[in-house]
Amino acid sequence: MPIETEAKIKVDDLIAYRRRLEKLGASWQSKRIERDCFFDEADKSLHQNGCGLRLRQETDDQNNTKNILCFKGPVDNNGAFKQRREIEVGVYDLARTQMLQIRRPTGIDVH
């Protein structure tokens, strides 16, 4: 099962940071727009247990779109970076998947 390792870095001066990356040999690859919808139980038990369920629509700079449903396991904060297990599944029909929202009265909450 894949492990996500995440580091968040505050950048006060984006232009200076970009120039520094370019000096190190980095180059612009692509632009990506992400639209997320998070799901949880009505009692927020996923969040309370450090987990998450996300439906993401991702569009690149060529206007190609893909949809991904992702379960994020509890966070392991034993190191310098946040790590957690992730399960990602491609979603062919986003509109039907978004219909999961109709489950709201049965305990699944969308936010």
Q: Show pLDDT as tens, one digit a residue, over the chain (111 residues).
A: 688 888 888 899 999 999 999 999 999 888 999 999 998 988 999 999 999 999 999 999 999 999 999 999 998 877 778 899 999 999 887 666 666 554 544 455 555
pTM over 0.85: no
Which amino acid is residue 34, in one-letter code? E
DSSP-derived secondary structure letter, 63 = -
- Tokens 């949880």 belong to which residue? 40
Are the C-beta atoms of 22 and 38 separated by less than 8 Å?
no
- Those residues with Cβ within 8 angstroms of residue 98's Cβ, 6 or more apart along the chain or in another chain: 37, 55
- The per-residue b/e assignment along 71-99, b for 16 or more CB within 10 angstroms, e otherwise, is bbbeeeeeeeeebbeeeeeebeebeebee
